[in-house]
Amino acid sequence: MKCTNRKLTNCIIIIFICLSMTGCKADKYAMAYNRNSNVSSFRFSEEKAEESANGFATDLCVTLKASVSANDVQIEESAAALLCDLNKKEILYAKNQYEQMEPASLTKVMTALVALKYGNLDDVYTASSNVLITESGATLIGLKEGDTMTLEQALHGLLMSSGNDAAVLIAEGISGSVEQFCALMNEEARALGATRCSFKNPHGLTEEGHYVTAYDLYLIFKEAIQYDEFNEIINAPTYSTVYKDKEGNSKELSCESTNLYIKGTYSPPENVKIIGGKTGTTSSARNCLILYAKDTAGNPYISVILKCSERGILYEEMTDLLSEIGH
């Protein structure tokens, strides 16, 4: 019995040694690598190259740097700044572009973008009691409960006069409530890649947890200027219209741009034309401005400044920033 077991063991050892010496041929690749084969799983067919998807950032200005310097630009009184060349997809200047800050009424760019995407300009909205904002210093277009106006009229009041009551009217008209509208604002921002912002209201009045970055604003503004109506509104120096109160009586609305470049108070560099933009001011966010501009050849740019100490300095530093265009 012992002899039989010993013979069996010896046979197993001999078989193992033979397999080791000859190489086990049991495992074979179903598709061996062949760089010249059209069916190899390791080779991309040149004929199918056109079907590949473009990268997410193909059409974006991208850099990992928080700051990008330029020889002729000195931004000292503003906490953040950004200048993007949309055609070259290049960031010409950046200061703290990824730092989270309060946007004040630059928030209304996101509000307008969502409204233009989900609403119709001829839609008529009715103001609720929530348009009666009493916060000190809040800019209003004078809406009262029961007033009705179209989305087109409300957008002029939102972007030109920076009406916080217009923002509430639009939010409730689109989504039924401010809370649901803000959820949609944040959803749309994420879809654009604006992942470091958070919107708690549609107007930009100070609220905990409400913040953006200069880069996120670039992404949002870049999407907004795809809408002709948005560009027309931010380019207009004045606007007048008539809407209705709850009894159906006519009420006049006159808007004037808060953008001092559009009003002619300040002038950009000679080789730059300001198409339009959005201003923002609160005691906490200080003075903010985002602009859509073009050079003499028609090439487009977006510039942003956040948290500047004074309004006059805001425009001086923005002009300095725009001077980098064409260099």
Active site residues: 105, 108, 162
For tokens 């985002």, the residue is 290
Task: Mark residue 276 as left, alpha or beta (left: phi above 0; alpha: psi -120 to 50; beta: remaining).
Answer: left
Cα 175 to Cα 183: distance, rounded to the nearest angstrom = 9
Q: Which of 34, 86, 38, 80 is nearest to 62 (CA)?
A: 86
Which amino acid does the sequence have at 187?
A: E
If one counts every other C-beta atom within 10 angstroms of the C-beta of residue 83, the result is 31
Which residues 6+ apart lie within 8 Å of 230 measured at CB?
Answer: 112, 113, 116, 155, 159, 224
What is the full DSSP assignment across 116-139? HHHS-TT-EEE--GGG----TT--
Q: Which of 274, 297, 220, 186 is nearest to 60 (CA)?
A: 220
| Contact (Cβ atoms closer than 8 angstroms) between residue 80 and residue 214 | yes
H or E segment and range at residue 93: strand 90-95
**Which three-class secondary structure state does DSSP give residue 70?**
coil
b/e string for 50-62 if b means 16 or more Cβ within 10 A?
Answer: eeeeeeeeeebbe
Which residues 6+ apart lie within 8 Å of 212 measured at CB?
Answer: 100, 101, 102, 103, 106, 107, 194, 196, 197, 198, 220
